Copies of this chain bind each other. A is one copy, B any other.
Amino acid sequence: MSLYLYGYWRSSATYRARIALNLKQLEYTYVPVNLAKDGGMQFSQDYTALNPSQLVPTFVDDDEDIFLNQSMAIVEYIDERYEEPVKLVPTHRLDRARVRALAQDIGCDIQPITNLRILRHLKSTFQNSDEDNVKWNKHWIETGFKSIEKRLTNTVADYCFGFDVTMADVFLIPQVYNAQRFGVDMGQFPLIQRVHDNCNQIEAFIAAKPENQADAT
């Protein structure tokens, strides 16, 4: 079995894939793609051949000859292929749907609006200052977290959905990391904070932290 994860230490989408791989106790080779250096190594010819979207992460499973982009597709693939030791998407279709929807609240409606390529485009197109960009990110993260905090009142225990870690937690924790980077006051979101603190007691989450990656600077 040879698994490869192309990503970047600070990319929250890569961070999700790292958590999932760790929770499944899978060995994988981490291949850094430096999004900052020389305008971004994701635009290189080699990486573009692997992933035409020029985004991270890309997951490669040599045995199955699959090259896969999109962190949510990657997490669900890993969850379907390796059922042990934990299921990240629950078995019952109602639970599955709710977990996916919460992950998508982050993976569709927060992260893609606030990532590096958006900030770069805002800067080059509208001459945004760094301060404008921080405001932009805070606005969208807070908007998203407000609705997630409300949703969690119906589902939260130790984790987003009860007492088992799910794909929702795999998405939430990297988004909290980004929220902290951009100065979001997490005091507004006590349930999110609680889930964050609980997850970060787990070795799989700790090992996946950006600062614990080989390419962290």
Residues in A lying within 8 Å of B, measured CB to CB: 52-55, 64, 66, 68-70, 72-74, 76-77, 80-81, 93-94, 96-98, 100-101, 104-105, 107-109, 111-113, 118, 121, 125-126, 128, 132, 135-136, 139, 144, 146-147, 150-151
Contacts of A68 in B (CB 8 A): 97-98, 101
A76 and B100 contacting across the interface, CB-CB below 8 Å: yes
A52-B146, A109-B53 given; A93·B80 CB < 8 A: yes
Which of A69, A111, A118, A121 has the most chain B CB atoms closer than 10 A to its own CB? A69
Nearest Cβ on chain B to A84's Cβ, whole angstroms: 15
When the two chains form the complex, which single residue of B52, B109, B147 contacts A112, counting CB atoms closer than 8 Å?
A: B109
Nearest Cβ on chain B to A203's Cβ, whole angstroms: 27
Task: Count this chain's copies in the assembly.
Answer: 2
Secondary structure class of chain A's binding surface, majority of residues = helix
Contacts of A80 in B (CB 8 A): 93, 96-97
List 26 interface pairs A-B (beta carbons < 8 Å), by A numbering: A52-B150, A53-B109, A54-B147, A55-B109, A69-B101, A70-B104, A70-B108, A72-B100, A73-B97, A73-B98, A73-B101, A74-B97, A76-B97, A77-B93, A77-B96, A77-B97, A104-B107, A108-B111, A109-B112, A113-B113, A113-B118, A121-B139, A125-B132, A125-B136, A126-B126, A126-B132
Which of A73, A76, A121 has the most chain B CB atoms closer than 10 A to its own CB? A73
